[in-house]
A and B are shown apart, each in its own frame.
Chain A
């Protein structure tokens, strides 16, 4: 059963009778469910945060690396443009 599409006011849950009898009352079961779900939410958030931190670090690393790679490309482009001019000169001289 998922509660996503249910109305809050009328929701009933089926609890194993032995669990119900062990705990003794409905309010305590609900409280323990809230604590259990909150604990699970903490664990889930911890994992999501760890994943986000890891992905953010990978992005930061790329942000640091990319300007160096861009600078290398700029130099290569300058070199190719220089060659282009040389080639033009050589071909014009020969025409």
Chain B
């Protein structure tokens, strides 16, 4: 239940000099109403670490996160280059495939003049009809 709703008596305190509270609350997008303050303070009471230890841990984690973000960007750039190449090839395949299919249609309209030509023709017709179902 909300503390304000229960009409709990409040005490106003000044935190003007404690910049870290502003900074951390902003980073966490944390509310600082009476109910949230109660939870934050209780959380602080349960902590087994000192403020200095926690500050050091936060610093280390922020550095690790920064490094990971940098690595992520590098890999993303590498992947982007590879994908451009992949998409380029796929488009080229699509273009050549369409050209071939048109040629096969022309070939269908003609009679083969030799056994070899018939075999090639039949193979290409089969292949492009089969591929047509896939592409």
Contact = CB atoms under 8 A, between A and B. Distances in A.
B82 interface: yes
Given A15-B11, A33-B44, A48-B65, A83 B31 contact: no
The interface size bin for chain B is 35 or more
Given A37-B40, A80-B97, A90-B107, A1 B33 contact: yes
Nearest to A67: B82
Contacts, number: 230
A17 B13 CA distance: 10
A88 B41 contact: no
B8 interface: yes
Contacts of B89: 70, 73-74, 77
Nearest to A6: B22
Interface of A: 1-4, 6, 8-20, 23, 26, 29-42, 44-46, 48-49, 52-53, 55-56, 59-60, 62-63, 66-67, 69-70, 73-74, 76-77, 80-81, 83-84, 86-88, 90-91, 93-94
